Structure 1
Amino acid sequence: MLVCHCNLITAKEIEETIISLLDEDPWQLIVPAKVYHRLKQRGRCCGCFPNVVETIIRVTEDYHLRNGAGETEIVPFLDRVRGLRGQFGSMSHEGRKSDHRAA
């Protein structure tokens, strides 16, 4: 599935990049800019960033569950990430309406 139409980046490419970042440091904070930098791309319209954040959360959670981390470690970490997303602007998507999201 195509996630970023501006750069033609697929969901699989994003997921593979997230996993490679997690292999380097499993507890690092991964943000869309870090994923795009690794892919040698940059956010243009940034309309895909909310979907990339959701992918980061899902892949990170799956990664830690697969590698035997207990839920006592995973849940507080991801809740903090979700809280930051809500605190720092998940309400306004670059001036787009809430029904603009592709996925």
Structure 2
Amino acid sequence: MSDTAKDQEHPLWRSDRTTVDSLLVGEATDFNLCELARLKIRYQGFPGARDIQRDLEKALQRWQLDEASLFERTREIHQRGGIYQGRNKDQDDWS
């Protein structure tokens, strides 16, 4: 059986698809870098949403980054704080 035959649908695919589409045309702002890193973590190893996983890689390439440098930059951004101001601070959105 092929991998695509076993693929699962991620429950947040629809909202994440919108975010990924904006990353593909947007600039590498602090917010967009953090969104890219957040979604890379969410879909890492997920058996499905191949379109999103592929497009996250495209965004990395477009911004001339690899995963290690993305995570390094976003750790620095998060240390400064305030990147997700206005969002529900009690809600984790990693999975």
User: TM tier, shorter chain?
Assistant: 0.3 to 0.5
More strand by share: 1
TM-score when normalising by structure 2: 0.39
Provide TM-score, normalisation by structure 1.
0.37
